[in-house]
């Protein structure tokens, strides 16, 4: 019999609320012969305030013993900016070598987009997850004085760029439009940018069926709002990917729908799935959080673990739920229940 050992990090703010719904949907869609074992980890602001710890080694070792991780959201205004992000969230991405940060963007029918004219949007950003300006390289000198100097170093390697670029080509090759766009800023960041471009062009020769394109990151933001339909698969650096995927979420109906997977495609470490949104402390506890992004992240998790049919059922349930949304405001729990109902209905008719 099959099993999934799932580590759960509910985290801060609305994290626990949306994760609860994600787990509900996961439980409802899994075949009855699959045993789901979950283990919850108390990590985030509360833990840091209580013990000063962000991610102790023992916890990291224990997390590693899982097939996947589901994470809600990390961050709280009571914790200095960067402490939990660097000490927990990014530490996980780096420790588990999540070099593919996968972020699909799709404008569902009936979703309200801030864009006039409702373009067709269906692309996926493959964001590099272990290099670039996120490495934590840099420092500050004479901190707090008028003579302070602070640096941030973007580190890029042929090894790191090639593996994510190759992953992106594979994904582009598997999609109907077969188009891959590299986004960087190689007219200014010439060292990193030229490395990316050279690797992109070289690996591209192995994928003659994939049409390629290059855009500077500033120009890319323009096309995200004026011509998002031009994108199919986008591959980009860690920081540009961070910026572009929030923008992508905005134009496809909001950060409440944006899912992500921090993936280690080799399987050497557990991959981690999380909504793109943050912990939204302002609405925590109000029942206003939309769990859809977490549920869509669960779909990515299912696909990653080989449960393709189940992933598709969750995505269909979400698409139907969004299409059927009226003007009635529902709580986090009610959205979760509605999704569970649709998932269960799909097995009866399917």
Ligand X SMILES: CC(C)[C@H](C(=O)O)[C@@H](O)C(=O)O
Which residues lie near a copy of itself (CB under 8 A)?
Answer: 75, 81-82, 85-86, 90, 113-117, 133-134, 137-140, 143-159, 162, 185-195, 197-198, 217-219, 221-222, 224-226, 239, 242-247, 249-251, 254-255
Nearer of residues 112 and 188 to ligand X, judged by Cβ = 188
Q: Enumerate residues 6+ apart whose C-beta is below 8 A from 176.
A: none
Nearest distance in Å: CB 187, ligand X: 5
Pick from 216, 80, 196: which is nearest to 132 by CA? Answer: 196
Token output for 108: 């569902």
Nearer to ligand X, 188 or 347 (CB): 188
Measured distance CA(181)–CA(207) in Å, rounded: 13
State which residue, 90 or 126, has the beta carbon closest to ligand X: 90
Vertex 264: Cα angle to 262 and 268 (nearest 5): 140
Half-sphere exposure of 192 (CA within 13 A, CB side): 20
Among 42, 218, 229, 308, binds ligand X (CB under 6 A): 218
Check 122, 246, 333, 337 and give the catalytic one: 246
Told to judge if 307 belongs to the known catalytic residues of this protein, a careful annotator would answer no
Enumerate residues 6+ apart whose C-beta is below 8 A from 130.
93, 94, 97, 98, 99, 160, 238
| Backbone dihedral angles phi then psi of residue 4, each to the nearest 5 degrees | -125, 120
Q: Which does 113 bind (CB under 5 to 8 A by kind): a copy of itself, ligand X, none?
A: a copy of itself
327 near ligand X, rule: CB under 6 A: no
- Of these residues, 41, 99, 134, 169, which one is catalytic? 134
Give residues with Cβ within 8 angstroms of 275, minimum separation 6. Answer: 18, 72, 73, 258, 259, 260, 293, 294, 296, 297
**Residue 42 catalytic?**
no
Choose between 224 and 231: whose C-beta lies nearer to a copy of itself: 224
Which distant-in-sequence residues (6+ apart) come within 8 Å of 288 by Cβ? 331, 332
Question: 138: annotated binding-site residue?
Answer: no
With CB under 6 A as the contact rule, which of the stretches 84-92, 107-115, 247-255, 313-321 interacts with ligand X? 84-92
CA–CA gap between residue 261 and residue 104 (Å, rounded): 9
Q: Which of 276, 295, 302, 318 binds ligand X (CB under 6 A)?
A: 276
- Contacted by 272, from a copy of itself, ligand X, none: CB < 5 to 8 Å by type: none
Q: Binding partner of residue 32 among ligand X, a copy of itself, none, CB under 5 to 8 Å per kind?
A: none
Tell whether residue 337 is a contact of ligand X (CB under 6 A).
no
Neighbour tally for 100: CB within 10 Å = 24
Q: Alpha helix (H) ranges present in 36-87?
A: 45-51, 57-64, 83-84
Q: How far is the CB of 64 from a copy of itself (least distance, A)?
A: 24
Let me know: does 47 contact 53? Beta carbons within 8 Å: yes
Residues 6+ apart with CB under 8 A from 144: none
12 is catalytic: no
According to the annotation, is 103 in a ligand binding site? yes
Q: Is 242 annotated as a binding residue?
A: yes
For residue 184, give both structure tokens.
């960087």
The response to whether 246 counts as a known ligand-binding position is yes
Tokens matching residue 4 = 């999934």
Catalytic residue among 41, 99, 106, 185: 185
Q: Which two tokens stand for residue 207?
A: 């994928």
Subset of 93-132 contacting ligand X (CB under 6 A): none
User: Binding site residues for NAD(+), as ranges?
Assistant: 278-290
Footprint of ligand X (CB under 6 A): 75, 85, 89-90, 187-188, 218, 242, 276
Residues acting as catalytic residues: 134, 185, 218, 242, 246
For the annotated binding site for substrate, the residues are 93, 103, 127, 218
């Amino acid at each position: 019999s099959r099993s999934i050992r799932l580590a759960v990090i509910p985290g801060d703010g609305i994290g626990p609320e949306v994760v609860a719904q994600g787990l509900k949907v996961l439980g409802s869609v899994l075949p009855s012969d699959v045993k789901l074992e979950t283990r919850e980890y108390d990590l985030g602001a509360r833990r840091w305030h209580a013990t000063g710890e962000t991610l102790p080694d023992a916890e990291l070792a224990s997390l590693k013993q899982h097939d996947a991780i589901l994470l809600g959201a990390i961050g709280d205004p009571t914790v200095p900016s960067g402490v939990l992000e660097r000490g927990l969230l990014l530490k996980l991405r780096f420790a588990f070598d999540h070099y593919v940060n996968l972020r699909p963007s799709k404008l569902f029918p009936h979703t309200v987009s801030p864009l006039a004219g409702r373009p067709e949007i269906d692309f996926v950003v493959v964001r590099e997850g272990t290099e670039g300006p996120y490495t934590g390289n840099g420092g500050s000198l004479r901190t707090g004085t008028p003579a302070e100097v602070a640096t941030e170093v973007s580190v890029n390697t042929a090894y790191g760029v090639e593996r994510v670029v190759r992953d992106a080509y594979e994904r582009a090759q598997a999609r109907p439009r077969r188009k891959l766009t590299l986004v960087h800023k190689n007219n200014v960041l010439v060292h990193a940018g030229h490395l990316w471009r050279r690797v992109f062009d070289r690996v591209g020769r192995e994928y003659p069926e994939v049409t390629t394109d290059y855009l500077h990151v500033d120009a890319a933001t323009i096309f995200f709002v004026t011509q998002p339909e031009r994108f199919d698969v986008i591959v980009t650096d860690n920081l540009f990917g961070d910026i572009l995927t929030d923008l992508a979420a905005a134009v496809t109906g909001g950060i409440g729908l944006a899912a992500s997977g921090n993936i280690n495609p080799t399987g050497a470490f557990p991959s981690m799935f999380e909504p793109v949104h943050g912990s939204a402390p302002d609405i925590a506890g109000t029942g206003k959080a939309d769990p859809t992004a977490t549920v869509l992240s669960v779909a990515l998790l299912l696909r990653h673990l080989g449960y393709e049919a189940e992933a598709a059922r969750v995505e269909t349930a979400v698409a139907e739920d969004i299409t059927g949304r009226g003007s009635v405001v529902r709580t986090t729990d009610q959205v979760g229940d509605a999704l569970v109902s649709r998932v269960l209905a799909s097995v009866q008719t399917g």
